[in-house]
Amino acid sequence: MARMTLAEIKARPSGIDWKRVNATTDEDIDQHAKEDGTDNELPGLPYPTPATVRRHLKLTQKEIAALAGVPVATWRNWEQGRVGLDPVVRTLLRVLWREPDAVRRAMVA
């Protein structure tokens, strides 16, 4: 396996079109979710998906991340499945889904 230094990794051109990513609106995300079939919580799941919780609460990614007390990049990673959800995050999603006002009260303190 070839190894690369951090400097070599940083020097490589990115395949991500950040202008396009940053221009993506919540409406675009909702439309993509409908097209993908991920706009509704699937029956039988032990916890709702991060995107489902956010849409249910009608919040932006920035707003839901602030409510959850995590960086917006973390919330995006959860929504996009880049990282697995540990049990604490799954519990947070269930509480946000069922009792968002309790989370709001707890985060103000």
Q: Does 88 score more than 60 pLDDT?
A: yes
Domains of the chain: 6-36 (no CATH), 50-107 (1.10.260.40)
Q: Token digits for 80?
A: 């996009």
Q: Measuring CA to CA, how many Å separate 7 from each of 10, 15, 40?
A: 5, 17, 42
7-31 tens-digit pLDDT:
888 888 888 888 888 898 888 887 8
- Say which residues have a Cβ less than 8 Å from residue 83's Cβ, sequence separation at least 6: 77
- Rounded Cα gap, residues 3 and 5, in angstroms: 7
Question: For residue 11, what pLDDT is reported?
Answer: 86
Q: Does 109 score more than 70 pLDDT?
A: no
Question: For residue 31, what pLDDT is reported?
Answer: 84
Residue 16, Ramachandran bin (φ over 0: left; ψ between -120 and 50: alpha; else beta): beta
